[in-house]
Amino acid sequence: MSTIVSPSVLSADFANLERDVKMLNESSADWIHIDIMDGQFVPNISFGLPVMKAIHKHATKPLDVHLMIATPDDYIDDFKAAGAEILTVHYEACTHLHRTLQRIKAAGMKTGVALNPHTNVQLLKDVLQDIDLVLIMSVNPGFGGQKFIPHAIEKVKEIKALITAQQTNTLIEVDGGVNLETGKQLVDAGADALVAGSFVFGSENPIETIKKLGELK
């Protein structure tokens, strides 16, 4: 099975967003990763629903939406309407995580939970049955192009063991500092999906870079 590749449009050329989304359509990318930041949960603001709707208009791949926002429960239905197929919320932002996950499912999306670098994966043990995707952050969220935090590899192994023990179909996705070297280490540790932004869009041939990431096994 090939590795799922979800290029992050946070690193795309915002002046040529339609062009870059069409490039992703033509590539072997499996999903399109969309980072939503509110300037509160993370110290940066990316883009909101109108830009996401514009991306959805041109995208032919599923939208893998990562909410780095303080109050994700307020916007679940809005992101469904904007085209999200996977909606990932942060463990750290959800006081009642189980209820949030049930609302995402009820809206017709796959559920994702992201963990910041300092957050222990064991905290997901009691809700793993309700999670379609765990997103391990291998950088501190908020900015693209950061250096990979090596401890993420151990976290992937740990969450993989939990998934195996509970016999769920939960996928493991990793976001931050992903390239061919770190990507191989993560896949070897048990990662199913890789998010890559600057590594893809900063390369000479993004389509070839996406292909090489997908071939990691």
38 is catalytic: no
Q: Which of 20, 35, 64, 130 is catalytic?
A: 35
Q: Tell me which residue of 198, 215, 126, 128 sits closest to 169, measured CA to CA.
A: 128
Angle between helices 206-214 and 180-189 (to 10 degrees): 20
Q: What are the distances in angstroms from CA 29 to CA 4, 115, 130?
A: 7, 23, 26
The total of other beta-carbon atoms located within 10 Å of residue 60's CB is 10
Angle between helices 152-166 and 180-189 (to 10 degrees): 30
35 is catalytic: yes
95 exposed, middle or buried (CB, 10 Å; 0-12, 13-18, 19+)? exposed
The total of other beta-carbon atoms located within 10 Å of residue 207's CB is 14
Quick one: tokens of 159?
């969450």
Burial annotation 76-89 (CB, 10 A radius, 16+ → b, else e): beebbebbbbbbbb
Q: Which of 30, 38, 132, 175 is catalytic?
A: 175
Query: Which amino acid does the sequence have at 52?
Result: M
Please list the active-site residues. Answer: 35, 175
